[in-house]
Amino acid sequence: MNCAPATTPRAALARPFLKWAGGKGRLLSQYEPFFPASFHSYYEPFLGGGAVFFHLSARINKAVLGDINPELVNVYRCVRDRPKEVIAHLHHHKRRHSTDYYYRIRQQHHLSDPVARAARLLYLNKTCYNGLYRENSRGQFNVPLGRYKNPTICDPELLEAASAALQGTDILEFSFAEILDWPLSSRDFVYFDPPYHPISPTSSFTRYNRYGFSGQNQERLAEVFKQLARQGVQVMLSNSDCEFIRQLYQGFSMYPMQAARAINSQAGRRGKISELLITSY
């Protein structure tokens, strides 16, 4: 792994460049007291919008970021390695943005150029309904156009800052359980932010990709969490505050957090809900 701390002034300004359901940007002030006092290497297998990584980037010596979604991994790699090309593609999309154009771009499922694929996902992310990422059973993005008068399709300063923070990081496509194959130690910090376990039939959203995230996945994740804890690794996890999750992580430190409900078709139902921050330390 070839990683280095993000130390440039531009990197210090980094924040998420993707809208992401369940993003942690508004919870960082609540999370801050619970981050490890010190650590060397940082691992995040459910990368999403990367709010926690960007928040901690100036403190990180090594970082391994990843996700099971190859399109998301590609976006991060392109923003890290080829930001100016991504920005140029986004300007192209911005000039042509319309309802018909959105649906034409949404149908382009097999682009061969990594930068074009990355810019496509970013464009759709900034213009689709609620910034939601959802795939059908064939792995195709299928969210309708959002109702925005003037969406911010391209923010060059934001992308350049994110690119600076991502320099030296490893960005990999992998499943969360694969982290057990790596030689982690007490000097390492792992943050898990999986799709949350549904607390009611109308509050669930677990299909960020074609595979979904079932109760069995939650149980397997809890096993991985416990194995890492036995190795002395510092592990933090976010999830729903419900009896199922509390039972899975019984014996570990649990801290209720107040979060805004981000996904609901009815604005009046987007209130505060309690979720859990769980740590092994």
Domain 77-160 has CATH 1.10.1020.10: yes
**pLDDT, tens only, 193-207:** 999 999 865 554 444
Output the pTM of the full model: 0.89
**pLDDT, tens only, 257-276:** 998 755 444 544 455 789 99
Q: Report domain extents, the chain.
A: 9-73+167-279, 77-160
Buried b (16+ CB within 10 A) or exposed e, 230-240: eeebbbbbbbb
Per-residue tokens: 110: 């097999």
Q: Of 45-49, 209-213, 215-219, 257-261, which gets the smallest average pLDDT?
A: 209-213
For the sheet containing 62-67, what is the strand order? 170-173, 62-67, 41-44, 188-192, 234-240, 272-279, 253-260
Assess contact for 12 and 58: CB atoms under 8 A. yes
pLDDT at residue number 2? 42
**pLDDT, tens only, 117-141:** 999 999 999 999 988 888 888 889 9
Three-state secondary structure readout of the chain:
CCCCCCCCHHHHCCCCCCCCCCCCHHHHHHHHHHCCCCCCEEEECCCCCCHHHHHHHHHCCEEEEEECCHHHHHHHHHHHHCHHHHHHHHHHHHHHCCHHHHHHHHCCCCCCCHHHHHHHHHHHHHHEHHHCCCECCCCCECCCECCCCCCCCCCHHHHHHHHHHHCCCEEEECCHHHHHHCCCCCCEEEEECCCCCCCCCCCCCCCCCCCCCCHHHHHHHHHHHHHHHHCCCEEEEEEECCHHHHHHCCCCEEEEEEEECCCCCCHHHCCEEEEEEEECC
Q: Interior CA angle at 157 toward 151 and 161, to 5°?
A: 120
The alpha carbon torsion through 171, 175, 176, 182 (nearest 10 deg) reads -70
Class of 9-73+167-279 in CATH = alpha beta
Mean pLDDT (whole number) for 238-242: 96
Assess contact for 26 and 51: CB atoms under 8 A. no
Percent of the chain with pLDDT over 90: 79
pLDDT at residue number 257? 96
Flag whether pLDDT at 178 surpasses 60. Answer: yes
Q: Which residue has the tokens 């009611």?
A: 200
Q: Please give the single-letter amino acid code of residue 225.
A: F
Query: Binning pLDDT at 50, 70 and 90, where does residue 208 land?
Result: low
Nearest to 137 by CA among 70, 209, 73, 205: 209
Measured CA distances, 227 to 68, 177, 180, 181, 221 (Å): 20, 10, 8, 11, 10
pLDDT at residue number 261? 57
